[in-house]
Amino acid sequence: MTNSTQTDDTPTFVTKEGLKQLQQELEYLKNVRRREVAKRLEEAISYGDLSENSEYEEAKNEQAFVEGRILELEEKIKHAQIIATGKHGKVVELGSVAVIKQVKPREGELEEYTIVGSTEADPLNQKISNESPIGAALLDHKVGDVVEVKIPAGKVSYKITNLK
């Protein structure tokens, strides 16, 4: 079965920490959530008449979601490619920590982002995907470069001030 977000051999770019989180979630779903959902299903079935049993329908939907997520995680883990974080390379790449500053249309504050694969993206914690508009624009650029990012509100330019 091919997941719509992952083809059979598409790599999943993750940090060691990200892979560990995926493995922990998979373990939890297989050993805890699966049992909880099975118990809910068993209980709902005991109410009789499945055709008008909303508890049964909800439990079946939850079971489908859990099983789908298990398959998705197994695929991601199977095709995981570890990326190193905090590289001191000359250009922005997966795992780089880029310090940027907005320069157009107005000057902004310094912002620091770790470039990660889409599986680990967490903008609230300064982790942006290599597929996001800013992440994609920064890739393969070096300190001092100004990159233009197309966003829904227009175009914004950022200068790369440092790589960590």
Q: Is 88 contained in some domain?
A: no
Same-domain check for residues 75 and 101: no
Mean pLDDT of 26-54: 90
Q: What is the identity of the amino acid at 107? A: E
Q: What is the identity of the amino acid at 54? A: S
| 123 preceded by a cis bond (ω within 30 of 0) | no
Q: Which domain holds residue 134?
A: 97-163
Same-domain check for residues 70 and 101: no
Q: Is 20 contained in some domain?
A: yes
Q: What is the mean pLDDT of the chain?
A: 89
pTM score:
0.71
- Cα 65–chain centre separation: 18
Same-domain check for residues 69 and 111: no
Mean pLDDT of 25-54: 90
